[in-house]
């Protein structure tokens, strides 16, 4: 565990394959549990991370990049948890799949993520995508 300006930083690198999505969920469960989140909020973060990683795995399979990696980085601050997911799954080209069932499930996954966390951004990057999710700790 490394220290960043905003607090502790935990980083995990794992293969971009379906059998490792559960590892990401367990890792973020442990990280989020250290914060002032309710049980439901911890589960929200765990589910959002699972959806984001699953989407990365699906794009890697479509783009022939199943041997690539995903990096899950979480920064634990006093008031928020920042989760960054970096993949090397190739470009996410929406135009080529318009109307396909996979696109509908991915759109549902993206909607679910936006409902589970307070902020989310998805930014293309060299050879993949960067997803950033922020969950704020509520005052009790």
Q: Supply 92's token pair.
A: 């996410």
Question: In whole angstroms, how far apart are CA 61 and each of 17, 64, 131, 138?
Answer: 8, 5, 18, 38
CA 21 – CA 108 distance, rounded (Å): 18
- The mean pLDDT of 33-62, rounded to a whole number, is 94
What torsion, rounded to 10 degrees, do the Cα atoms 103, 106, 107, 112 define?
A: 170
Query: How do residues 69-94 score in pLDDT, each as one tens digit?
Result: 999 999 999 899 999 999 999 888 76
User: Mean of the pLDDT values across residues 32-44?
Assistant: 93
Mean pLDDT of the chain: 87
Q: Domain residues for 112?
A: 2-136
pLDDT at 105: 55
The tokens describing 93, both together, are: 């080209």
Three-state SS at 117: coil
CATH number, domain at 77? 3.30.565.10
What 3-state DSSP class applies to 47? helix
Tens-digit pLDDT profile for residues 91-131: 887 654 444 555 555 577 788 899 999 999 999 998 999 99
- pLDDT of 18: 95
* Structural domains in the chain (count): 1
């Amino acid at each position: 565990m490394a220290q960043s300006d905003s607090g502790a930083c935990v980083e995990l690198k794992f293969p971009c394959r379906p059998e490792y999505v559960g590892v990401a969920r367990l890792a973020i469960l442990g990280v989020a549990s250290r914060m002032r989140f309710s049980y439901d909020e911890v589960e929200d973060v765990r589910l959002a991370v699972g959806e984001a990683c699953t989407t990365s795995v699906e794009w890697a399979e479509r783009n022939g990049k199943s041997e690539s990696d995903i990096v899950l980085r979480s920064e634990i601050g006093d008031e928020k948890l920042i989760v960054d997911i970096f993949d090397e799954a190739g470009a996410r080209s929406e135009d080529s799949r318009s109307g396909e069932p996979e696109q509908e499930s991915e759109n549902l996954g993206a909607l679910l993520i936006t409902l589970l966390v307070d902020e989310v951004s998805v930014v293309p990057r060299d050879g993949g995508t960067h997803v950033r999710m922020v969950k704020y700790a509520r005052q009790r």
